[in-house]
Amino acid sequence: MKNYYEILEVNKKASKEVIDKAYKVLAKKYHPDLYSSVEKQTNEMKLKELNEAYRVLSDDFLKAQYDKELEIQERDEIIRQYEKKETVQETEQPTQTYKKNRRKQVSTKEHKIGTLGSLMDLTKEIVDNRPQIKEKRGITKKDVYAVILTIIVVLILGVILWFIPFTNGWMRELLFENPLFSWMF
């Protein structure tokens, strides 16, 4: 169904005077006698639409009927969009269950504490599940501060352990003789 309000370029709550004025302005603008033969045909069609819209909207009875039909059409369109959104959500549901099952698989994996492999597996698990983690809760400033504070505390503990005579040998052995860290120095 055509939207006569859009054709006349007026609001749905426009008064009869506003509709009359809009019709006169647009009829003058699109009158076919003002244009060449190519534009004449398109303007004739536009003028026919304007006449039809004005005929309906200028009559109170026809306008009331048209408003009811337009309201029903808009309501049906909203319902169709809502149903379409629900069907999209239904099609997305299997992927969400897959993500939940994948999360369960990854989180039940056992790690051997203290090995490089466990650190790599844990890092991979965190990176793979990052989008799901962000869905659950956003990263806040407190989280960032906590990570920075943890790094600072670990560095301070390393410096303290370096300067304590009892642990200095252990730290030297860890850093300089361990094959994991030998590539750094």
Give me the tens of pLDDT residue by residue for the chain, a chain 185 residues long. 788 888 888 988 888 899 899 999 988 888 878 877 778 888 888 889 999 999 988 888 888 888 888 888 888 888 888 887 766 665 655 555 555 555 545 444 555 565 666 667 767 776 666 555 445 556 778 888 889 999 999 999 988 888 888 888 877 887 777 777 666 65
For residue 19, what are the contacts with CB-CB under 8 A and spacing of at least 6?
Answer: 8, 10, 54, 57, 58
Query: Residue 36 has which token pair?
Result: 């060449």
pLDDT value of position 148: 92
pLDDT value of position 108: 47
Is the overall model pTM greater than 0.85, yes or no? no
Helix axes 116-128, 60-107, angle to 10 degrees: 170
pLDDT value of position 3: 86
Query: Residue 185 has which token pair?
Result: 């120095």
pLDDT value of position 159: 87
pLDDT value of position 99: 54
pLDDT value of position 75: 86
Delineate the domains of the chain, giving CATH numbers in brackets.
4-83 (1.10.287.110), 115-184 (no CATH)
Query: Residue 112 has which token pair?
Result: 């051997």
